[in-house]
Amino acid sequence: SKLSIFMWVFFVGNLFHGAGASPLYTLGVTYIDESVVKKKTGIYIGLYYTAATVGVAVGYIVGGFFLQLHEDFPTGGHAQHLSPYSKTWIGAWWLGFVILGLLCLVIAMPILALPTQLPDWEQVRLSKVSEAVIGVSRTKAYTGLKDFPAAILELLKNTSFMLLNFAGCCEGVVFSGSGAFIPKIIQSQFHLSYKTTALVMGI
């Protein structure tokens, strides 16, 4: 059908979403750790993850308000007799992506102006002692593309690293599934509106 092409639009969109979000939880945490003194690292990382958690809750609540609007409200193409309680009602699910996407672009501008290394970064780095390398003999660093397979193999042999990856995958499956389907279950079981359901999920 003509709509099948939009499936690939969602696939590509999720691909960009993953590519953009992944560095936040890898490089972002590393950037914080390398830029602040050791005794304050936990505070900054805690605030970082708190903002990520609160963002999900706020997203549900704001999304609930947007779902009160019909998906075709800019053109007025929907039937006037429909209401948010109608079974055929489809809310403006796309509106949040547009507004928050533009907001992210605005926020990204000052972040792009940040230097690669914050002031006094070198002093902070020199003052830190990595507990991970205490008592561990140094090995040859992987510096070239030809070393990439060997580096991957070494990571795969790291039990702690692989267990953390497995735990993260399980957590991701649980949160992805519950985030997508629990709102619908709550709405159908308790006959709530989209707005109320989103508010419950956000809280």
Q: Which residues pair with 70 in a beta bridge?
A: 91
Instruction: Please determine, for residue 1, whether its predicted confidence score (pLDDT) is greater than 70.
Output: no
For residues 135 and 129, what is the distance between their CA atoms, to the nearest angstrom? 12
Contact 66, 91 (CB under 8 A): yes
pLDDT band for position 138 (cuts 50, 70, 90): low
For residues 16 and 189, what is the distance between their CA atoms, to the nearest angstrom? 34
Q: What is the pLDDT of residues 5-51, one digit of tens each?
A: 888 888 888 888 888 887 887 788 888 888 888 888 899 999 998 99
Instruction: Please determine, for residue 79, whether its predicted confidence score (pLDDT) is greater than 70.
Output: no
For residue 93, the model assigns a pLDDT of 86
Angle between helices 5-35 and 38-66 (to 10 degrees): 150
Q: Could you tell me the pTM of the whole model? A: 0.66
Instruction: Please determine, for residue 80, whether its predicted confidence score (pLDDT) is greater than 60.
Output: yes
pLDDT band for position 102 (cuts 50, 70, 90): very high
Mean pLDDT to the nearest integer, 126-139: 57
